[in-house]
Chains A and B, each alone.
Chain A
């Protein structure tokens, strides 16, 4: 049953305004009129979603491309600090050559450009790469617009695992199943997704090669197999197994398949995640009587409690710089996304919604993607770490959940 990307078109809703946003403008691309994708609109939406950029309407009646040396004065008058120019042409093999150049309007400086030869299917990708280029030139940080996300949808009796662009568009189904799929986790290289599938009427962990559809059963032990987490080097998988009855943490060596028990508690230990260096494991345990987040060494042993406020803290995610912990706390009967500064222990609540789930950081650490419920429907959201800029990536039909933000791709 072929499922097309058109099934999951997304809408971007930005709410809230950041303090310092860099004004940018985009001149209409030469030769882009008849393209199947509006590249300029994609770049604009990408940059706005970051919360760090503000779009300024382009100067009318000026034809520019990447070879032009534009008169920047009228753009400066429009208060644009940055200008993107470019063109698209068809190559003989059917591909498109997307070329662009970025101008610093204030300093009248050429910030460079690129040629991106792509297939029609990758035109969106070219737009995301342009947005990444501008983002990196202007902020000094790598952009995440060309990265990918995974998520799960549920329609009446069908569960699907999707791989989409970071803006939620261009969704492609990787797996369809009559039984639930949860906890997708990207491998560090971005080539594999580990997830929990219930297709054999129990939770087992697969890894799934995205480009080929080839699947490998990683954990199918007696009982439940869940909560997969790749080590930063991609050689080890953490998982929750129930070999002795209760849910405990194990590490699985992916080359040999050998598993080692990491926790020895009579309580629930689950949802492990590695820190960036692969030295520590954060996880959820109810050893203190209620679910809280703990930290221990990569080989197990002594665990220290990390969350102290509230009686229900689950679903930890560690920022790429290792400084922040995102998690979901039960607050007044609702489940709300929190961020903790690990050095100070300061906790900030990031949302107004009450059914937040499954946070994951963008690979540059500037955004968090999470699932929640809005107007009675499941939705995917991104938020800046201060909670100011939120974007909704709302699915076309059915419920949408379990997002995981993939790594930078080379």
Chain B
């Protein structure tokens, strides 16, 4: 298309006298050539240099006359920059073990599972081993400080620590997946130490 336009631009400039200021281009050649350019450009929204294409006399109705060259086109061309909206839906979750905590908290800048959570993880391990069809996702989270992608990697370290603990307790690798949400889904809002402590966590989510 671009090559075509360039070809015609060269063609036009060779046929027509280059535009001079306040010049009245009243020839039929000029008008039909303008129509030709507009027809060529129809739908692609391309631009032309004023000095490579004739400028019609603007005092009369020539613009309309020139534009009639495109009257055969079907309506207004689609906006080349339109962006359609896609809607994403999240997936359902599975049933977790009853009466067992599903959140493991971490110390500041730490990626070790504290011993107080051993009993909780053992209950999850027992639940998973009882039915090999059960699947758990270990979702690592961080507090809000620092970059999003780096926090995603830090959350992954926490999820991975829980995954290793469950593996040591005999949970099959195929039943668990360590993933991270980084700082994207804080459990509580706020920027104080208490909020940060509640957000440094791994959530066990069944699917």
Contacts and interface: CB of A to CB of B under 8 A. Distances in A.
Interface of A: 1-3, 30, 65-69, 87, 89, 91-95, 97, 99, 101, 110, 112-122, 125, 129, 148, 163, 172-180, 182-183, 196-203, 208, 210-213, 215, 222-224, 226-227, 240, 242, 245-247, 268, 270-271, 284, 291, 312, 314-315, 328, 330, 335, 357-358, 402
Contacts of A87: 58
Closest 4 pairs between A and B when the two form their complex, measured CB to CB = A172-B83, A177-B88, A202-B179, A180-B184
A200 B157 contact: no
Contacts of B88: 175-179, 197, 199
Interface in B38-71: 38, 41-42, 45-51, 53, 55, 58, 63-64, 67-68, 70-71
B59 to A, nearest CB: 9
Interface stretch (B97-105, B115-123, B146-154): B146-154
13 contacts: A91-B63, A114-B47, A129-B47, A163-B83, A174-B85, A180-B184, A182-B149, A182-B182, A201-B205, A202-B177, A224-B179, A357-B147, A358-B147
Contact of B63 (A97, A121, A315): A97
B139 A291 contact: no
A119 B160 contact: no
B177 A119 contact: no
Interface in B150-207: 150, 152-154, 156-157, 160, 163-164, 177-182, 184-185, 205, 207
Given A91-B70, A172-B83, A291-B150, 6 more contacts: A99-B50, A174-B83, A176-B86, A182-B152, A247-B156, A315-B149
B53 to A, nearest CB: 6
B87 to A, nearest CB: 5
B90 interface: yes
Which of A2, A87, A199: most chain B Cβ within 10 A? A199
Given A97-B63, A177-B88, A119 B79 contact: yes
Contacts of A94: 75-76
B50 A66 contact: yes
B133 interface: no
B91 interface: yes
Contacts of A213: 83-86
B89 interface: yes
A94 B77 CA distance: 9
A212 B86 CA distance: 9
A203 B88 CA distance: 13
Given A176-B87, A213-B86, A246 B49 contact: no
B119 to A, nearest CB: 24
A66 B55 contact: yes
B22 interface: yes
A271 B58 contact: no
A248 B63 CA distance: 61
Contact of A113 (B50, B83, B84, B147): B50
Nearest to A314: B147
Given A93-B73, A203-B179, A268 B67 contact: no
A148 B82 CA distance: 12
B22 A271 contact: no
Contacts of B146: 312, 314, 330, 335
Which of A1, A66, A201: most chain B Cβ within 10 A? A201
Contacts of A357: 147-148
Contacts of B87: 1, 175-177
Contacts of B84: 174, 211-213
A137 B138 CA distance: 56
Which of B93, B153, B154, B178: most chain A Cβ within 10 A? B153
A197 B86 CA distance: 13
B7 interface: no
A180 B185 contact: yes
Contact of A92 (B47, B67, B154): B67
B76 A242 contact: no
A101 B181 CA distance: 52
A187 to B, nearest CB: 15
Nearest to B73: A93
Contacts of A200: 90-91
B84 to A, nearest CB: 4
